[in-house]
Amino acid sequence: MRFQTTLRYIDMVARTGSIRKAAESLSITSTALNRRILAFEEELGADLFERMSTGVRLSAAGELLLLSARNQIGEMERLKAQIADLKGERRGHVSIACSQALLPYFFPAEIAAYRAAHPLVTFNVMQRDRAAAEEALADRSADLAAVFEPAQLTDFHVLLAVDQPVHAVMAADHPLAAEPELRLRDCLRYPLVLPTGAISVRSLLDTAARRISAPMKVTVTSDNFEFMRALTLAEPVIAFQIPIGLPDPSRADGTVSRPVDRRDLAAGRIYLGHLRGRVLPVAVAGFARQIQQVLADRYG
């Protein structure tokens, strides 16, 4: 497997843009890593990296090699997982790129459930929104992506898409907390803590506010939904979130959430998928099936 190891080393150097940083991540010396790459370049007959004072970057030959290498690494992982399945053991690694809303509650529960059945499977979970999730699929740093309102779906093979209506989040003693469902115009009469413009929930809110010609009293903006929910307990502001990013009502934390009428604020969608044309390793495919079923049962 020495060849596969070298490919992994080259992949790490490309990701970090530095032989020193890659060596630190790989727990080897930078001298040993550089020797391994130089030997590979000599055998290949081409330089894989352009060496600069600030680090390294892939050459044209390196880009071609890395594309092939990532395919080979993925195929090897799939083969190893299939062999493990023959022994009655499911092992492997699952890397996920997902929107922030899925991090606090959804994926911790689902990963724990999967690992309870397959304890040899390891996971890597990365916060990636919209286009960044698709980029992670393309460069093989992620096997699966679960994102809210992605910017594009060019190389995204959709396994499932489920609706997510936007909810208003507030303290339990807020004047609107007694209402089972809210009109957007009523929410906008109060001070708001809103996501930054790059986050999809903010885009939906901006579009809806323009449509009803209602100004928004934005007092605080943030790129962290947990902070925004906590702020509703510190002062009488309203935040917004989608259901998958909210705690179970049984986990009382002093906040409540109420759906905003869809006539005022359109629902978005969560998309689960992987790189178009890619055959998923066994562990990844198994976890994807679990997620599809849970999302379909809960939100389908």
pLDDT in tens, 154-185: 788 999 999 999 999 999 999 999 999 999 99
Q: Best-predicted range by mean pLDDT among 49-58, 77-86, 124-133, 256-265? A: 256-265
Q: DSSP E strands: which ranges in the chain?
A: 49-52, 55-58, 91-98, 120-127, 144-148, 156-164, 167-171, 192-195, 218-222, 239-241, 255-259, 268-275
pLDDT at residue 88, as a whole number: 54
Kindly tell me the burial class for residue 250, based on how many C-beta atoms sit within 10 Å of its own C-beta (0-12, 13-18, 19 or more). Answer: exposed
pLDDT at residue 1, as a whole number: 54
User: 128 to each of 182, 217, 244, how far by Cα in Å?
Assistant: 30, 28, 16
> If you ran DSSP here, which 8-state letter would residue 102 be given?
G
The domain ranges of the chain are 2-64, 90-163+269-299, 166-266
pLDDT at residue 46, as a whole number: 86
Q: Looking at per-residue confidence, does 6 or 215 come out higher?
A: 215
The CATH code of the domain at 166-266 is 3.40.190.290
75-102 tens-digit pLDDT: 777 677 667 665 555 678 999 999 999 9
At how many degrees (to 10) do helices 19-26 and 2-16 cross?
130
Q: Looking at per-residue confidence, does 87 or 74 come out higher?
A: 74
pLDDT at residue 163, as a whole number: 95
Beta carbons within 8 Å of 284's beta carbon, 6+ residues apart: 92, 94, 143, 144, 274
Q: Looking at per-residue confidence, does 53 or 286 come out higher?
A: 286
* Position 219, amino acid: T
Instruction: Collapse the DSSP code of 240 into the 3-class scheme (helix H, G, I; strand E, B; otherwise coil) and give the result.
Output: strand
CA distance 157 to 209: 32
DSSP string, 247-287: --TTS--SEEEEEBPTTTS--EEEEEEEETTPPPPHHHHHH
The CATH code of the domain at 2-64 is 1.10.10.10
Nearest Cα to Cα of residue 19 among 5, 45, 38, 4 = 38
* One fold for 2-64 and 90-163+269-299: no
CATH superfamily of 90-163+269-299: Periplasmic binding protein-like II (3.40.190.10)
pTM exceeding 0.85: no
Residue 16: is its pLDDT beyond 70? Answer: yes
Structure confidence at residue 23 as a pLDDT band (50, 70, 90):
confident
Structure confidence at residue 65 as a pLDDT band (50, 70, 90):
confident
Instruction: Supply 15's token pair.
Output: 């990701």
Structure confidence at residue 274 as a pLDDT band (50, 70, 90):
very high
Query: Alpha-carbon torsion 33, 34, 39, 40, what sign?
Result: positive
CA distance 242 to 169: 10
Average pLDDT, the chain: 89
Beta carbons within 8 Å of 227's beta carbon, 6+ residues apart: none
Q: Worst-scoring range by mean pLDDT, 57-71, 114-128, 257-271?
A: 57-71
pLDDT at residue 44, as a whole number: 84
pLDDT at residue 84, as a whole number: 64
Q: What percent of the chain has pLDDT over 70?
A: 93
Question: How are beta strands 91-98 and 144-148 bridged, if at all?
Answer: parallel
Structure confidence at residue 55 as a pLDDT band (50, 70, 90):
confident
Structure confidence at residue 140 as a pLDDT band (50, 70, 90):
confident
